[in-house]
Structure 1
């Protein structure tokens, strides 16, 4: 799994007040791998900043495995194409990878 392709998106930060109950803050992060949503991280914090609860949830493991394998194949193809002198633009169209990742790969294979 290429760490450069992992992204987090803050989906929700929520302050909750329930009568006769302790106030808390709820946070929801979505986890992406190569622009595909693969899971979420949910956490609850007390007003003192202590973690009350947290849950890391990944969606269908077969989907994630296939996504990682296909992305790794795309990275390998991009590396070989860049070493052969094919332009970054063409490599991006062939591989479907982000231009920032292709630039990073190009700097390592050059």
Structure 2
């Protein structure tokens, strides 16, 4: 009872050695895949890195949007340039803090 999907076993030495080498390569790939699945710590670290990068992008986007919004608002706001700069910095700090808080809260 042989499996029809299994190729015939070679009878010459070179063919056998080639077949053995291919089988070892497939076995090594399978073992590596199983080891990667079993590496929970590695998977967790990869997920943390992904979340960190995502959070950094979100913070950068929010910071850019906040800066643009504060700039638009401060251009029409009364007061000296120094007062407007202080308001701009305060706005950026607040928006950044809220963005970081939202990212940390989602974890």
- TM-score, normalised via structure 1 length: 0.29
- TM-score, normalised via structure 2 length: 0.30
Higher radius of gyration, 1 or 2:
2
Greater helix fraction, Structure 1 or Structure 2: 2
Greater strand fraction, Structure 1 or Structure 2: 1
